[in-house]
Chain A
Amino acid sequence: MSAPLLEVSDLAVRFGEHQAVRGVGFAMGRERVGIVGESGSGKSLTGRAILRLLPTGARLSATRLAFAGIDLLAAGADEMRALRGRRLALVLQDPKFSLNPLMPVGQQIAEAYRAHGRLSAAEARQRTLGMLDAVRIREPRRVHDLYPHEISGGMGQRVMIAMMLAGDPDLLIADEPTSALDVTVQAQVLAVLDEQVSRRDMGLILISHDLDLVARFCDRVLVMERGIIVETLAAAALDEAQHPYTRRLLAARPRLAAP
């Protein structure tokens, strides 16, 4: 029996006296796990703690934090850097802050390819164009040479996903990947994510405030409130939620159908 893709147990993140995340534990394989909660619930910190990308001043502790059997708590800075981008990838809400504004987007994806393997410039370019096509960018050759400010938000997010997929990661952590996008564009970006996660048989952690989105996209949902997991649900059984906080989140969803 091989190790689960990710094991987290008794994870805590502290800022001085403040316990931002407490006693968080879950294990996952190559499946889709959603983490849902409101601002301050600790959902984003949990995602970042797994990558050990916490803001300065944050203190991380856990009884176990392991990725594919590798103890992330014991891993050195070099080992973590090698894991990030290659086997573990992160997509954030706004691509504008994650892309280098001074470099054409194609070059940034090619750099990711070259960082992960010994590729010639021509090979990296070929793979980049293939990846832009895979994330449904219609004119890969034209978009390849554009700067981040010349592309739309939806295209920027697809470029980010392309860059993260360049390392062929085993686990993708997506933190509010579509929250900054218009609804019709959200659907396009989610379709790309849906297809790529399935095709590559990756694990996915989708972090969002949007309970409906998480339930539809994932297999399982962890509901967080004030730093702890208050409830774990099969995505299909969302309506059977027991915890009052989850019930409140469910009730607060604005509905078009009913007044």
Chain B
Amino acid sequence: MIEARALAARFGPTTAVDGVSFSVASGEAFGIVGESGSGKSTLLRVLAGLHEAWSGRLVLDGVPQGRRRAPRGRVQMVFQDPYGSLHPRHTVDRALAEPLAVHRVEDPAPRIAAALDAVGLEPMHRFRYPHQLSGGQRQRVAIARALILEPPILLLDEPTAALDASVQAEIIALLQRLRRERRLTYVLVSHNLAIVAQLCERVAVMQDGRIVEELTVAELRARTAQHPYTRELLAASQGYMRRHTPHPNPLPQAERGLGERS
């Protein structure tokens, strides 16, 4: 479904992506992890056709991609912050109608209703504005909009990073269900190894614009990574280990209560 060979991308004099190759089978979910500046988000933007200064060979759904790529119907992207990607003065209805209008889809109303239903939103959400929705609901709208033209490939850039933990879990479950039901191919970019492990089968670890290691999620879980940077990420993802011992007796027990409602 996705075939990338020696992809490179530049920002002026800076090489953000430096000779990256990978392939993703149809229906597979491929994760890209790395820290800020690793080039992971730029790589995703190249796949989405949102970054023009790139070179290498890229085939999406059997179609080799040219430098300037207009038709984005086969690939859609969901961003980290739905507040930034939804127009603040457009209702949910308008946000979903737009891609349908661009592609001259007749009778858009049932498609919009079905798209909302697919992401677990109610009909009443249809005429709301982004500020009238919660963060999780906004991200559901962004996913509905990305899927309304039924692309086979969905690109996800930190789709849960701006959300609270309990909402994050719901969005992950939604993405898992949609992939299963629609046989979608995902490329997920995240700094969070645990989220990548939940959603993907394979993971590429990026550092300084290159893929330093590619491993299966089973290998990731078993912590059998070879590259030192992957090991460092794995160690950091276990959480901070306190070195200094708890305070012996900070406050007598009796004084702790003070109106605590527990």
Interface residues, chain A, with chain B CB atoms under 8 Å away: 4, 7-10, 23, 25-32, 38-39, 63, 153, 182-187, 190-191, 194-195, 197-198, 209, 211-213, 216-217, 219, 222, 228-232, 235-236, 248-249, 251-257, 259
Q: How far is the CA of A254 from the CA of B169 in the complex (A)?
A: 7
Chain A residue, CB-CB nearest to B170: A252
Which 10 A-B pairs have CB atoms at the shortest separation, nearest pair first?
A25-B259, A31-B250, A198-B244, A254-B194, A38-B164, A182-B35, A29-B250, A183-B236, A29-B251, A252-B169
- Check if B239 is an interface residue, CB within 8 A of chain A: yes
Do B258 and A25 touch across chains, with their CB atoms under 8 A apart?
yes
Interface residues, chain B, with chain A CB atoms under 8 Å away: 35-36, 135, 164-169, 172, 191-195, 197-198, 220-221, 232-234, 236-237, 239-244, 246-247, 250-251, 255-256, 258-262
Residue from B165, B237, B244, B261 within 8 A of A23 (CB atoms): B261
Do A186 and B260 touch across chains, with their CB atoms under 8 A apart?
no
Residue from A27, A182, A184, A236 within 8 A of B255 (CB atoms): A27
B241: A residues at CB distance < 8 A? 216
Chain A residue, CB-CB nearest to B232: A184
Q: How far is the CA of A198 from the CA of B250 in the complex (A)?
A: 13
Do B247 and A32 touch across chains, with their CB atoms under 8 A apart?
yes
Q: How far is the CA of A212 from the CA of B241 in the complex (A)?
A: 10
Q: How far is the CA of A217 from the CA of B191 in the complex (A)?
A: 22
Nearest CB on A from B79, distance (A): 18
Nearest CB on B from A203, distance (A): 8
The SS class assigned to the A binding surface is mixed
Residue from B164, B198, B236, B256 within 8 A of A254 (CB atoms): B198
Do B255 and A248 touch across chains, with their CB atoms under 8 A apart?
no
A252: B residues at CB distance < 8 A? 165-166, 168-169
A253: B residues at CB distance < 8 A? 165, 194
Do A4 and B255 touch across chains, with their CB atoms under 8 A apart?
yes
Nearest CB on A from B179, distance (A): 15
Q: How many A-B residue pairs have CB under 8 A?
A: 127
* 28 A/B residue pairs, CB under 8 Å, sorted by A: A25-B258, A25-B260, A25-B261, A27-B256, A29-B247, A29-B250, A29-B251, A30-B250, A31-B246, A39-B135, A153-B36, A182-B191, A184-B233, A184-B236, A186-B240, A187-B236, A194-B244, A197-B244, A211-B165, A213-B239, A216-B240, A219-B250, A229-B261, A252-B166, A253-B194, A254-B168, A255-B194, A256-B234
Do B166 and A9 touch across chains, with their CB atoms under 8 A apart?
no
Q: How far is the CA of A194 from the CA of B247 in the complex (A)?
A: 12
B243: A residues at CB distance < 8 A? 191, 194-195
A10: B residues at CB distance < 8 A? 259
Chain A residue, CB-CB nearest to B249: A29
Residue from A23, A209, A219 within 8 A of B247 (CB atoms): A219
A63: B residues at CB distance < 8 A? 259
Nearest CB on B from A135, distance (A): 15
Residue from A26, A197, A256 within 8 A of B193 (CB atoms): A256
A194: B residues at CB distance < 8 A? 240, 242-244
Q: How far is the CA of A251 from the CA of B168 in the complex (A)?
A: 12
Residue from B165, B166, B260 within 8 A of A229 (CB atoms): B260
Do B262 and A4 touch across chains, with their CB atoms under 8 A apart?
no
B168: A residues at CB distance < 8 A? 252, 254
Nearest CB on A from B104, distance (A): 40
Do A219 and B239 touch across chains, with their CB atoms under 8 A apart?
no
Do A4 and B191 touch across chains, with their CB atoms under 8 A apart?
no
Chain A residue, CB-CB nearest to B194: A254
Do A23 and B259 touch across chains, with their CB atoms under 8 A apart?
yes
B250: A residues at CB distance < 8 A? 28-31, 219
Do A209 and B164 touch across chains, with their CB atoms under 8 A apart?
yes
Q: Could you list 18 further interchain pairs (A-B, Cβ under 8 angstroms) beyond the known A230-B262, A256-B237, A259-B197?
A: A23-B261, A25-B260, A25-B261, A26-B259, A30-B247, A31-B250, A182-B36, A184-B233, A191-B240, A191-B243, A209-B164, A219-B246, A228-B261, A230-B261, A249-B165, A252-B168, A254-B197, A254-B198
